[in-house]
Structure formats: C-alpha cells, structure tokens
Amino acid sequence: MPAQRSIVICGGAFAGLALAVALRQGLGPDIPVVVADPALSQRPSRDPRATAIVAACRRLFETLGVWGQVAPTAQPITDMVVTDSKLQDATRPVFLTFGGNVAPGEPFAHMVENRYLIDALAARAEAEGVELRATAVSSFASRPDGVAVTLADGTDIDASLLVAADGARSKLRERAGIATHGWDYDQSGIVVTVGHEREHHGRAEEHFLPAGPFAILPLTGNRSSLVWTETRKDAARITALNDEQFHAELEQRFGLHLGEIKALDRPRAFPLGYFVARSFIAERLALIGDAAHVIHPIAGQGLNMGLKDVAALAEVVVDAARLGMDLGQADVLERYQRWRRFDTMAMGVATNSLNFLFSNESTLLRTVRDIGLGLVDRAPPLKSMFIRQAAGLSGEVPRLLKGEAL
Ligand SMILES: Cc1cc2nc3c(=O)[nH]c(=O)nc-3n(C[C@H](O)[C@H](O)[C@H](O)COP(=O)(O)OP(=O)(O)OC[C@H]3O[C@@H](n4cnc5c(N)ncnc54)[C@H](O)[C@@H]3O)c2cc1C
C-alpha cells in the first residue's frame, strides 16, 4: 500500500471547507487535510448574501454535522410561484406553482445566509482536525508520484492530491493550463436584502421580467433576499442610485403584495457569466465548485452543483483509500471527472436555455414559454419530476447527497 500524504485544498469557502470536512470524516485522522485561503482570517464572515440550498445538499450538510448549526437561521421554501410579465403590467398572472416537499417534512430547498453557513463549515472543519491556513497557495508542481505545493507564507507541502476550490478566477486552473468554454452574459445580478411588512409564508417568487428573472427568496423573519437581473449597464445605474431613487425602482418590480418594503443593505451587482472547464482534472489536481464551472443564477443551482462535486470527489477518494490506492492517481481522478462533467454540461445547457427563453421581450417566445409553463402546471407527474431534479435527487446521486455517511 502506498504511503498516503496530505490532501491540500486551495480555497476555504463553501466547496473547499465542505470537501475538507467530508474527507476528514471519511479518511480518518491519519491523512492530513489542509485548507489554505487568506479569507480564513476573516471570521466571523460578513457576507450579506444568501443562497438557496436544495434538499440533497441540505442532506450533505446534515451528514457532515453542519446543518444543526445552520438550521435555526435557515428558511424553508414551502412553495414557489412563477410569473411572466412586462414591467408596466398592472397584474402578474401566476403561470406555474411548485409545492414544496421532496419527502414528508423535507422541503425541496432552504434559503441559507452565507455568513452562517461559512462560519458553521469553518467551525466543523476545525473540530474535525482540518488544518486551516489563512494564506494563499502560491504555486505547485505535479509529478507522477505526488504534488509539491507552496503556500504564500513559504510552507512547502508534499501532497498526494491538490484540489482547486479557488473560485471562478481559479489561478490553479490557469497554472494547470486548463482552458474554459463559455461566455459573459450582458447581465448582472443585483443582490439586496429587503424587509417587508407582511409574512412571506416561505413562498419564493420568480418573476420573469423582460430584462431577466427577478427572484424574491424568503429569509427568516419578514425579510427576503433578491436576485434581480438587469443588463450590466442598467445594473450599474441602479446600484449607483441614492436610497430614495433605488426604492422607487425596487417597488416598481417588487410590488406591495407584502406591504411596505425597505432595502436592508446596499444593493450589489455581480456580473453574470457561464463557463465550464475543459477538464475537471490534471495530474494530481482536481477542480471543484466555481473553479470548475459557473452558471447563471436563474435556477439557484451554482453552489449546489459545487456541492455535488464535493460529494462525488469525497466518495471516489474515500473509496480509493479503502482499496489501498494512491488517492491522487489518474484513474481515481478520472472517475470523479466522468461522474461530474456530463451532469455539469447538462445543467449549463438548461440554465442557458432558460435565460435565453425568459430574458427576452419577443411576443412569440413569450407565448411559447407561457403555454409551456401552463402545461407543466397542469401535469403533476412532470412537476414532481422537476422538483426532484431541482432538489438534486435525480441521476446517479453520491452517497453524501442521499444523507449517507462515507
Ligand atoms: C447573484 C448570485 C446569486 C447566486 N445564488 C445562488 C443560489 O441561490 N444557489 C446556489 O447554489 N448558488 C448560487 N450562486 C452561486 C454561488 O454563489 C457560487 O457557486 C459559490 O459561491 C461558489 O463557491 P466556491 O466555494 O466554489 O467558490 P468561492 O465562493 O468563489 O470561493 C473561492 C475561495 O477561494 C479563495 N482563493 C482564491 N484564490 C486562492 C489562492 N490562490 N489560494 C487560496 N485561496 C484562494 C478565495 O479567497 C475564496 O474564499 C449565486 C451566484 C450569484 C453571482
């Protein structure tokens, strides 16, 4: 049996920390797991954003022992309504409704505030004995039998496997010479938290407006998180408005169905794009999360895709360790890539098509999509198939996403 060395994870956000905890639990204490990220020094996190976490990923967090800390601050999504209208339309007829549970008492998704999730993951990682280093990975050199990793603080680590969880602008991906396929949308997602007078009752709303989707996602208390798509130019204009002008733009889109509304933080615009790495692996290197793929937030699946990478990579590595294999050897990494790349491409095609179909003022397209939404709404088996798909419970699901320990 080969001597097992460390696994180094570059990037200590959602994907990197979740993988570290999963590996530590599956491999035991003999194989050191190191997470390096300068952002680890910024605790507690101040990230004001929130993320829709689907049922399968909630099961992963529960199995990793993280969900207990997050649950009190998480808002179950009990149902979802979809409308399709112009900005000036007086009413927005509902074309599609999704009712919520994938299993009794288990909603298809929760809204989770990023800061609570990241802090819970970091605390769990620490408790499991993951070595957290608040420094960057500055370089690496792969050989057939290992990978030499150098951290920005000067530490050298001889590892079996290096994982790039360093986000969309991954330097590790670039250094490994892995190209990406994709494009920028001429769109930004404006993110802002809104307080409202009346309760949302756990209802999520997706309003397809001509500039793109305007999603109202329920948070605990009388608060919602918005992901509001505009062209990049309009998003820059809207986020630069003063509070009063911004309120007027917000109210025009949000409406008054939840009573008076108020922005609780400054709106921020995130430029939107789509890409998939041409390979998810290189010698002794695996890409996970946004380092491997970025998709449009139209279906709230970006991080959920990254967590599927986490569950699949952790499973193939732990299985390899049990068979006495070298954890970073090519066939272990190829199994990971086969598992994840096709699913990622399929999700990319789905989100690109949705965005094309719905961020569009064409009357013909509008008629076609509204007929489609109406048909789905009247076909319960089709609806439940979509819910299972959206909840991450279809296809070849890794064990952690089924709620099974590795
Ligand atoms: C507007 C918007 C709304 C979204 N809503 C949803 C949603 O509802 N549901 C969903 O599933 N997804 C959503 N997403 C997508 C989701 O936010 C991302 O997929 C997720 O944050 C990616 O996590 P990550 O851990 O892969 O990478 P990141 O969060 O980008 O983290 C990368 C980390 O790597 C570190 N790093 C970078 N370089 C180095 C280095 N050299 N050495 C060490 N560390 C390094 C960084 O400091 C950072 O901490 C949304 C995205 C946007 C833009």
Q: Where residue 328 sits, what CATH number does that domain have?
A: 3.50.50.60
176 in the same domain as 120? yes
The answer as to whether 156 is a domain residue is yes
**206 with 355, same domain?**
no
pTM for the full predicted model: 0.93
- Inside any domain, residue 103: yes
The verdict on 210 and 355 lying in the same domain is no
> Which residue is closest in CA terms to ligand 1's atom 50?
297
User: What lines the ligand 1 site, CB under 6 Å?
Assistant: 10-16, 36-39, 51-52, 136-137, 165-167, 171, 189, 191, 227, 270, 289-290, 297, 300-304, 306
Domain boundary among 272, 305, 339: 272
For residues 307 and 215, membership in a common domain is answered with no
Name the closest-CA residue to atom 35, ligand 1.
11
Nearest protein Cα to ligand 1, atom 42: 136
pLDDT at 379: 64
| Shared domain check, 215 and 302 | no
Task: For residues 343 and 200, state if they share a domain.
Answer: no
pLDDT value of residue 146: 96
Q: Which atom of ligand 1 lies at the shortest distance from residue 306's CA?
A: 26
CATH code assigned at 192: 3.30.9.10
Is there a domain that residue 375 lies in?
no
**Ligand 1 center to 263 CA (angstroms):** 24
- Do 123 and 243 belong to one domain? no
SS3 category, 20: helix
Measured at the alpha carbon of residue 42, what is the angle toward residues 269 and 243, in degrees to the nearest 5? 30
Asked if residue 79 is part of any domain, the answer here is yes
Q: Collect all residues with Cβ–Cβ distance below 8 Å to 28 and sequence separation of at least 6.
A: none
Q: What is the pLDDT of residue 1?
A: 45
Among protein residues, the one whose CA lies closest to atom 11 of ligand 1: 303
| Residues 31 and 171 occupy one common structural domain | yes
The pLDDT profile of the chain, 406 residues, written as one tens digit per residue, is 445 689 999 999 999 999 999 999 999 999 999 999 999 999 899 998 999 999 999 999 999 999 999 999 999 999 888 887 777 776 676 666 777 678 888 898 999 999 999 999 999 999 999 999 999 999 999 999 999 999 999 999 999 999 999 999 999 999 999 999 999 989 999 999 999 999 999 999 988 888 888 999 999 999 999 999 999 999 999 999 999 999 999 999 999 999 999 999 999 999 999 999 999 999 999 999 999 999 988 877 889 999 999 999 999 999 999 999 999 999 999 999 999 988 888 877 777 777 777 676 677 667 766 777 666 666 666 666 667 777 777 788 999 999 999 9
Q: Are residues 120 and 243 in the same domain?
A: no
Q: How far apart are CA 150 and CA 156, in angstroms?
A: 5
- Closest atom of ligand 1 to CA, residue 40: 49
Distance 304 CA to ligand 1 centre (A): 11
Is residue 167, in this structure, part of any structural domain at all? yes
210 and 246, same domain (yes or no): yes
Would 396 be classed as within a structural domain? no
Specify if 166 maps to a domain: yes
225 and 263 housed in the same domain: yes
What's the pLDDT score for residue 43? 86
Task: For residue 13, report the distance from its CA to the centre of ligand 1, in Å.
Answer: 7
Q: What's the pLDDT score for residue 100? A: 66
Residue 383 phi, psi (nearest 5): -65, -45
Report cis status (omega within 30 of 0) of the bond before 271. Answer: no
Substitution candidate for ligand 1 out of 35, 37, 157 with most atoms within 8 A of CB: 37
- If you search the block for the tokens 């399709």, which residue do you land on? 84
CB 13 within 8 A of CB 118: yes
Quick check: is 403 in a domain? Answer: no
Range of the domain at 258: 75-110+184-272
Total domains, the chain: 2
Contacts of 70 (CB under 8 A, 6+ apart): 61, 112, 116, 117, 120
On whether both 62 and 37 belong to a single domain, the answer is yes
- 282, 164 contact by CB (below 8 A): no
